[in-house]
Amino acid sequence: MNWIVQTFASSVGKKTMMAVTGLGFCLFLAAHLAGNLSLYVGRQTFNAYAEHLHSLEPLVKVMEAGLLFFAAVHVITGLVLFYQNFTARPSRYAVTRSAGGRSVGSRTMPYTGILLLGFVVYHLLNFHFVDKTGTTIYDIVAAAFTDPVTVGLYVCAMIVAAFHVSHGFWSAFQTLGANHPKYMPLIQGAGLVFSLLVGLGFGLLPVYLLAVS
Amino acid sequence: MTKSINLTLKVWRQPGSQSSGRLETYEARDISTDMSFLEMLDVINEQLTLEGAEPIAFDHDCREGICGTCGAVVNGRPHGPEKGTTLCQLHMRHFSDGDTIVIEPWRARAFAVIKDLAVDSSALDRLIQAGGYISASTGGAPDGNAILVPQETAELAMDAAACIGCGACVAACPNASAMLFVGAKVSHLALLPQGKPEAARRVAQMVREMDRLGFGNCTNERECEAECPKEINITNIARLNREFLKARFFSSEK
């Protein structure tokens, strides 16, 4: 087997792919959140932001293709790992008890991941693959969040995302070998703060839009 | 102060590797709190033998916490509830009168149950055979001192070398991964000048063997370091990842 294929097919290689793509999504989330905060300012600011973003058209297309590729790698590798890890213990323990290593985030990683995949598809159908003629993106978003069910779904999805990120962020650094006695506590702290920012930053937006509608 | 306690044991009984097993219940009466966990099992086995029943098979050897032979999952915790302890060094004073204790063997696809609590963990030996050694002649003890090693590095290597290969990390891992074991072995040798020449080949071959043997993948759950009787930490796994990527992308090792 070719050494490159062998590297990425190995257990450490698969971890590395999860870490690199996961950190890529963290960067995307940060940029997406920064952009979305303009929703709090109002209709004009958000539409101006969206327009400006789309004026960088070739770049946006390249980024979208990159995200799609990262998503494919992250989802496929994640599902392979989930299956392999499940079959690595054919007979389960009658009693399992944590010694304190696992967190809610780490314990639920595959499940939150699958839920997030479903959410991303739903989210894209809501706001990306829609007819935008004769309306603005703000109006589409504001109209969607007049429905309390949609708002509830988005809030739940963001709680799920926060848990996924709470384990994913520091875990990616550990996987890439960046575990240093000086920096690891900072990385873990930053991961916690970032997951809260993702949960609150994105999660409160639909609630705010529902409240002002 | 010595006292006696009564316990209910639920022990995994499995006649052989091909047969199916189940939890059997035993009453353990008048167990001295000074006993170790294995001594408590010895008492049960004497009773079973007198009754003409088959004694419980379990792995043990030195009974002083240094050989890595013993181990069972006690109430869901490999080597029991105490931190940094092997099963033989776990004492019955940590249990209370009337407790129910569930005792199960290490469970992983790479570890087959031989009988009851006795497990074939020779997969760990095969990992060592794949590269957990150095092949350079290092001479006698005085020659070892010819290459200077900073104290801090020696301590890090020694922390990793404390691994006794008991398999608790695999048993504790929700994914039955052997990353902490391999991480400890790779770290121990990669940190020292004697291990450096073969570092790339070692890590590439050990990871390949780990995957071939059917261990799971590490997802940084950190249960291994919490259960390791020698308290080996996951910075060794980070070092293994670094060594692996370095070997894969920056060495000529195929």
SS3 content of chain A, % helix, strand, coil (to 5): 80, 0, 20
pTM score > 0.90 for this model? yes
Task: Look up residue B1 and give its two tokens.
Answer: 């102060």
- The CATH number that applies at residue A72 is 1.20.1300.10
* Cα gap B198→B131, rounded to integer Å: 9
Spell out the domains of chain B, with CATH numbers in brackets: 4-115 (3.10.20.30), 122-250 (1.10.1060.10)
| Model pLDDT, residue B20 | 94
A chain contacts of residue B214, beta-carbon cutoff 8 Å: 88
* Cα gap A33→A127, rounded to integer Å: 15
* Cα gap B111→B160, rounded to integer Å: 23
Residue in chain B nearest A7 by alpha carbon: B248
Determine whether the interchain pair A167/B220 forms a contact, defined as Cβ–Cβ distance below 8 Å.
yes
Q: Is residue A94 part of a domain?
A: no
| Model pLDDT, residue A133 | 85
Closest CA to A11 of B234, B206, B123: B206
Q: Is residue A35 part of a domain?
A: yes
CB-CB contact of A161 with A115 (8 Å): no
Q: Is residue A5 part of a domain?
A: no
Work out how many domains chain A is built from and give that number: 1
| Model pLDDT, residue B254 | 78
Residue in chain B nearest A3 by alpha carbon: B254
CB-CB contact of B7 with B37 (8 Å): no
Which of A11, A20, A74, A166 best tests the B interface by mutation, with the highest count of B CBs <10 A? A11
Q: Is residue A171 part of a domain?
A: yes
Helix count and strand count (H, E) for chain A: 10, 0
B chain contacts of residue A164, beta-carbon cutoff 8 Å: none
Determine whether the interchain pair B235/A181 forms a contact, defined as Cβ–Cβ distance below 8 Å.
yes
pLDDT (tens digit, 0 to 9) for every residue of chain B, 254 residues total? 679 999 999 999 999 999 999 999 999 999 999 999 999 999 999 999 999 999 999 999 999 999 999 999 999 999 999 999 999 999 999 999 999 999 999 999 999 999 999 999 999 999 999 999 999 888 888 887 888 999 999 999 999 999 999 999 999 999 999 999 999 999 999 999 999 999 999 999 999 999 999 999 999 999 999 999 999 999 999 999 999 999 999 999 87
Determine whether the interchain pair A85/B216 forms a contact, defined as Cβ–Cβ distance below 8 Å.
yes
Which of B219, B243, B245, B253 best tests the A interface by mutation, with the highest count of A CBs <10 A? B219
Q: Is residue A132 part of a domain?
A: yes
pLDDT (tens digit, 0 to 9) for every residue of chain A, 213 residues total? 689 999 999 999 999 999 999 999 999 999 999 999 999 999 999 999 999 998 998 999 999 999 999 999 999 999 999 999 999 999 999 999 999 999 999 999 999 999 999 999 999 999 999 888 889 999 999 999 999 999 999 999 999 999 999 999 999 999 999 999 999 999 999 999 999 999 999 999 999 999 988
Residues near B146 by Cβ (< 8 Å), separated by ≥ 6?
A: B139
Q: Is residue A160 part of a domain?
A: yes
A chain contacts of residue B109, beta-carbon cutoff 8 Å: 87-90
* Cα gap B104→B47, rounded to integer Å: 20
Residues near B28 by Cβ (< 8 Å), separated by ≥ 6?
A: B6, B7, B8, B9, B40, B43, B44
**Rg of chain B, C-alpha, whole Å:** 20
Q: What is the ipTM of this complex?
A: 0.93
Q: Is residue A95 part of a domain?
A: no
Compute the C-alpha angle A85/A87/A92, nearest 5°: 100
Determine whether the interchain pair B220/A16 forms a contact, defined as Cβ–Cβ distance below 8 Å.
no
Q: Is residue A57 part of a domain?
A: yes
A chain contacts of residue B119, beta-carbon cutoff 8 Å: none
* Cα gap A162→A157, rounded to integer Å: 9
Our CA-based measurement puts residue A135 at a distance from the nearest CA of chain B, in whole angstroms, of 45
| Model pLDDT, residue A1 | 65
For A84, other C-beta atoms within 10 Å of its C-beta total 20
Residue in chain A nearest B225 by alpha carbon: A101
Which of A14, A82, A95, A102 best tests the B interface by mutation, with the highest count of B CBs <10 A? A95
Burial classification of residue B207, based on how many CB atoms lie within 10 Å of its CB (0-12 exposed, 13-18 middle, 19 or more buried): buried
| Model pLDDT, residue B142 | 85
